């Protein structure tokens, strides 16, 4: 009982003390009421909060919610991707339907097209899914930022303070409404994103399953293509064509064409942009020549395609390179593009080719149209198979006639003649495979042969047009610089023809293998070889990187060597307008330096190991390898800079002869006496080099002659001598012979005769022929000479 009284007194004393302390605290100015004290201590980080602090935090909350509102709305790119997602789903559905509906009639080419469409759709679905995933993460982060506003202790205090809340009631209501709207906006956006992401994931799963089915079908089709599909031609037919409907086949191809066309707009844009730039370049040069009244001079350089048909020529360029962008296009699309190319070529060659050759070309065009249609017949009847054989025979006959009538001076004439023989061989194979019941293989041989023939004709036109464009640029630049003398286009054409021939060959092989369904396998095989990592010691590299390294260096040297052509500088002008050559030299040096830097960076070669090698090389030079390194570096300069090349007639120091070999350490000259002179490369570069065949093969030749002629007949005799010189073979016609009088006496004249020989290697022979021709001319006129 006493203990209870003690605790009661103790508790009462504590309560009194607390009341006194509270009264003292409330009696001080600026302190909060008893009602707000507990709330402030619980939610606020400071001992007090003013109206300014409340307003500042409200303003920050408004800004945060407005910022979230602005970025939480789904942008137009998401809407566009959502529409494209439907297209990708349609492609997946189309492939699925085709595999089910045409289970037995799908050939290898159809399966390849379906695989290409599915690969594009699968790639797009993965890309769309990643985009949706990023948007989902962004919206979730925004929602967390909105939820983070609840942790603001000042705002929480304001919501619990009834007195202060009345002063900021409009702001609080507006903040509440904006937050509710923002929450609703975020929820709708997240719901849409989740839906789209789910659709993309489901489409990717279905596409992966279809890809496995397609790969299995392709594997089986690749094995079955060489197997017997139908009866031999002489056997009774046991299969039926009930399941075949050409109208349905055309509808399905139209759908595939629509899907491909919608997904390949970027490639077409690049192709047509190149064509527009080329057309602008050509028409600009033609306008310049027209203003200066120099269009007739184009005949001298055989610029016919661009001069008469600039628009059609530009279109031919675009359509000729189109297969590089459409190697995996549906057959209907490739046939349409090829038909446009054939129409363009027909317009170009209508007046240029002989009439009989043009008739053969019309026949080839008709065969192309027929083969394009028959390519859709999957299960032909007996009569249709006989008709196919008749088409193959007609193709063989036309190819042989076309080859016989084709002019040998045409661009790529030798290549075209080889392709025509290949066309004959492939159509013979098509007949054999048709008879043996392998219709897919027969059809493939037939359509590939006709495509290969029309494509190579288009590529020959491409080379001709590009060469004409280069010559047109050179001629226009020279006209602008007022260089009046003509130039020989033959060496320029030869310099550009070789790299163009390589590019054309690659394009034709790509188109040819694509029609045979071998391009992907060939491309993958070469890619694996080039991308396989090789190791030498601790250094790893790939053959592709090495090839890329040398390719970029070759392109840099090619451009720097022939850059002057585009400025009208062909190295054949004697002191005319040479001020730009120093600037051109600096441009070439910059181009070479940039090419080497790009080659090193693009090849992926280990720069640190190159640095080590250079350091070791520097040590070797310091230890006495100066001469060896000098010859080695000089050899590299000779190989790439090419001040002389194999076959040139040169003079190096006291040695003269023809270049037989250029090595990394030394070069070999063959003298006129047949001796081999081996000169270190360092000595070659350290001396003056006289190269008679670097820019051209011309050489000025002179000889003395004394004639007995009357003074009044001197001018006439000199004119006769000039005409006699011009009539001699191997004399350069575009440079006038020059005759100087060295001494004069009462009875005779001593002449110094100069003329230009076309071929430096025939200098002595030409001098002899000219001397004899002049002697005969003077002899016929009764004039003595010696």
- In contact, 204 and 126? CB cutoff 8 Å: yes
Q: What pLDDT was estimated at residue 6?
A: 41
Burial code (b: 16+ CB inside 10 Å, e: under 16) for 392-428 equals bebbbebbebbbebbeeebbbeebbbebbebbbebbe
Name the token pair of 735. 């440079």
Please state the φ and ψ torsions of residue 671, each to the nearest 5 degrees: -80, 170
Partnered with residue 657 across adjacent β-strands are 650
pLDDT at 16: 46
**What Rg value do the Cα atoms of the chain yield, rounded?**
43
What whole-number distance in Å separates Cα of residue 55 and Cα of residue 171?
A: 9
Distance CA 379, CA 571 (A): 64
Phi and psi torsions of 648, nearest 5°: -75, 150
Structural tokens at position 273 = 């942009």
Q: Which helix (H) or strand (E) holds 535?
A: strand 533-536
Instruction: Name every residue whose Cβ is closer than 8 Å to that of residue 127 and which is 6 or more positions away in sequence.
Output: none
Distance, in Å, from the CA atom of 324 to the CA atom of 346, rounded to the nearest integer, reads 22
Q: Phi and psi at residue 743, in whole multiples of 5°? A: -150, 155
The three-state DSSP-derived secondary structure of 595-652 is HHHHHHHHHCCCHHHHHHHHHHHHHHHHCCCHHHHHHHHHHHHHHHHCCCCCCCEEEE
Q: What is the DSSP string of 668-713?
A: EEE-TTS-EEEEEHHHHHHS-EEETTSS---EEEEEEEEE---GGG
Return the number of other C-beta atoms located less than 10 Å from residue 170's C-beta. Answer: 8
With contact defined as beta carbons under 8 Å apart, do 317 and 466 qualify?
Answer: yes
Assign 540 to helix, strand or coil. strand
**CA-angle at 666, arms to 665 and 667, nearest 5°:** 145
Q: What per-residue confidence (pLDDT) applies to 571? A: 58
Q: What is the pLDDT of residue 17?
A: 42
Q: Which two tokens stand for residue 341?
A: 């190319």
pLDDT of residue 32: 38
Q: How many residues does the chain have?
A: 786
What is the rounded CA–CA span in Å between residue 483 and residue 193?
Answer: 68
**Closest-CA residue to 42 (of 162, 155, 210, 157):** 157
Residues forming beta bridges with residue 667, ordered by sequence position:
662, 679
Per-residue pLDDT, 24: 40
Q: Which residues on adjacent β-strands are paired with residue 755?
A: 701
Q: Collapse the DSSP code of 184 into the 3-class scheme (helix H, G, I; strand E, B; otherwise coil) and give the result.
A: helix
| Structural tokens at position 581 | 């050559």
Q: Which residues of the chain have pLDDT under 70?
A: 1-49, 54, 101-110, 150, 158-159, 161, 163-165, 218-230, 234-259, 261-264, 328, 376-379, 484, 537-539, 568-586, 589, 603-625, 639, 664, 710-712, 746
Residues β-bridged to residue 757: 699, 731
What is the reported pLDDT for 19? 40
d(CA 246, CA 378): 9
Write the Ramachandran bin of 14: left for phi over 0, alpha for psi from -120 to 50, otherwise beta. alpha
Distance CA 145, CA 71 (A): 12
Q: How far is CA 209 from CA 92, 217, 392, 647, in A?
A: 10, 13, 40, 62
Three-state DSSP state, 31: coil
Sheet holding 738-744, edge to edge: 699-707, 749-757, 738-744
Nearest to 307 by CA among 292, 323, 294: 294
Q: Where are the beta strands (DSSP E) in 527-604?
A: 533-536, 539-542
Strands 689-691 vs 699-707: parallel, antiparallel or unpaired: unpaired
Q: Which two tokens stand for residue 639?
A: 């190989």
Say how many C-beta atoms besides its own lie within 10 A of residue 737's C-beta. Answer: 20
Instruction: Please give the pLDDT value at position 23.
Output: 42
pLDDT score recorded for residue 36: 42
| Torsion sign, CA atoms 334, 337, 342, 345 | negative
Tokens representing residue 228 in the block: 């017997």
**Residue 455 CB neighbours (<10 A):** 23
- State residue 542 phi and psi, 5-degree precision: -125, 155
pTM for this one?
0.66
φ and ψ at 706, to 5 degrees? -115, 130
* N-to-C CA span, the chain: 165
C-alpha span between 509 and 496 (Å, rounded):
20
Give the integer Cα–Cα distance in Å for 546 and 530: 9
Helices assigned H by DSSP within 436-488: 439-480
Nearest by Cα to 117 from 81, 84, 91: 91
Dist. CA 88–CA 205, nearest whole Å? 13
> Alpha helices of 408-438 — where are they, by DSSP H?
413-435
């Amino acid at each position: 009982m006493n203990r209870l009284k003690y605790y009661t007194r103790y508790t009462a004393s504590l309560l009194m003390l607390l009341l006194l302390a509270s009264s003292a605290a409330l009696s001080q100015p600026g302190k909060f009421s008893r009602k707000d004290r507990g709330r402030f201590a619980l939610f606020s980080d400071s001992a007090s909060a003013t109206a300014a602090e409340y307003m500042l935090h409200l303003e920050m909350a408004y800004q945060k919610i407005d910022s979230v509102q602005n970025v939480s709305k789904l942008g137009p790119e998401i809407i566009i991707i959502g529409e494209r997602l439907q297209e990708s789903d349609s492609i997946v559905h189309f492939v699925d339907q085709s595999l089910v509906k045409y289970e037995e009639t799908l050939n290898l080419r159809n399966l390849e097209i379906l695989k290409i469409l599915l690969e594009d759709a699968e790639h797009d679905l993965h890309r769309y899914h990643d985009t949706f995933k990023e948007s989902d993460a962004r919206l979730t982060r925004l929602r967390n930022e909105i939820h983070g506003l609840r942790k603001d202790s000042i705002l929480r205090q304001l919501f619990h303070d009834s007195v202060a809340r009345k002063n900021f009631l409009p702001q609080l209501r507006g903040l509440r409404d904006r937050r509710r709207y923002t929450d609703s906006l975020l929820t709708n956006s997240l719901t849409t994103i989740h839906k789209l992401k789910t659709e993309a994931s489901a489409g990717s799963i279905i596409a992966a399953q279809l890809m496995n089915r397609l790969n299995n079908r392709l594997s089986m089709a690749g094995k079955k293509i060489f197997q017997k599909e139908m009866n031999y031609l002489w056997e009774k037919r046991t299969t039926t064509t009930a399941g075949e409907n050409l109208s349905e086949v055309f509808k399905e191809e139209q759908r595939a064409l629509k899907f491909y066309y919608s997904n390949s707009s970027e490639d077409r844009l690049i192709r047509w942009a190149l064509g527009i730039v080329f057309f602008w370049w050509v028409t600009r040069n033609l306008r310049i020549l027209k203003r200066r009244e120099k269009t007739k001079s184009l005949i001298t350089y055989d610029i016919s395609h661009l001069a008469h048909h600039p628009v059609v020529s530009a279109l031919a360029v675009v359509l000729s390179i189109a297969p590089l962008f459409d190697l995996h296009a549906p057959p209907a699309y490739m046939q349409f593009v090829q038909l446009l190319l054939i129409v363009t070529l027909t317009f170009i060659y209508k007046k240029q080719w002989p009439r009989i050759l043009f008739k053969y070309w019309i026949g080839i065009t008709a065969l192309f149209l027929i083969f394009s249609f028959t390519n859709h017949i999957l299960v032909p009847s007996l009569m249709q198979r006989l008709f196919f054989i008749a088409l193959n025979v007609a193709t063989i006959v036309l190819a042989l006639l076309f080859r016989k009538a084709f002019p040998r001076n045409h661009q790529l004439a030798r290549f075209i003649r080889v392709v025509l023989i290949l066309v004959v061989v492939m159509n013979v194979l098509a007949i054999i495979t048709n008879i043996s019941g392998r219709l897919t293989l027969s059809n493939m041989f037939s359509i590939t042969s006709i495509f290969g023939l029309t494509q190579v004709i288009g590529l020959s036109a491409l080379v001709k047009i590009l060469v004409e464009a280069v010559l047109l640029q050179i001629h226009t630049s020279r006209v602008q610089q007022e260089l009046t003398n003509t130039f020989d286009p033959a060496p320029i054409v030869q310099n550009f023809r070789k790299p163009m021939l390589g590019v054309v060959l690659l394009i034709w092989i790509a188109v040819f293998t694509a029609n045979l369904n071998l391009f992907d396998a060939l491309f993958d095989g070469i890619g694996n070889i080039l991308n396989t990592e090789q190791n030498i010691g601790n250094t790893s590299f790939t053959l592709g990187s090495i090839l890329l390294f040398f390719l970029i260096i070759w392109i840099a040297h090619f451009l720097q060597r022939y850059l002057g052509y585009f400025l009208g500088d062909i190295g054949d002008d004697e002191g005319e307008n040479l001020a730009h050559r120093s600037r051109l030299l600096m441009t070439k040096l910059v181009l070479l330096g940039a090419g080497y830097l790009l080659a090193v960076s693009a090849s992926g070669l280990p720069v640190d190991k190159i640095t080590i090698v250079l350091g070791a090389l520097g040590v070797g030079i310091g230890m006495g390898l100066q001469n060896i390194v000098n010859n080695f570096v000089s050899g590299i300069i000779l190989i790439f800079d090419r001040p002389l090349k194999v076959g040139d007639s040169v003079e190096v120091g006291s040695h003269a002869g023809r270049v037989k070999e250029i090595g990394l350490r030394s070069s070999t000259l063959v003298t006129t006496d047949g001796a081999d002179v081996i000169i270190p490369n360092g000595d070659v570069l350290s001396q003056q080099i006289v190269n008679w065949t670097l820019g051209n093969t011309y050489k000025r030749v002179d000889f003395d002659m004394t004639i007995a002629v009357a003074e009044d007949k001197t001018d006439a005799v000199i004119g006769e001598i000039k005409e006699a010189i011009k009539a001699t073979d191997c004399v350069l016609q575009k440079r006038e012979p020059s005759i100087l009088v060295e001494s004069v006496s009462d009875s005779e004249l001593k002449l110094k005769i100069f003329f230009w020989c076309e071929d430096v290697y025939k200098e002595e022979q030409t001098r002899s022929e000219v001397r004899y021709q002049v002697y005969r001319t003077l002899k016929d006129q009764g004039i003595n000479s010696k």
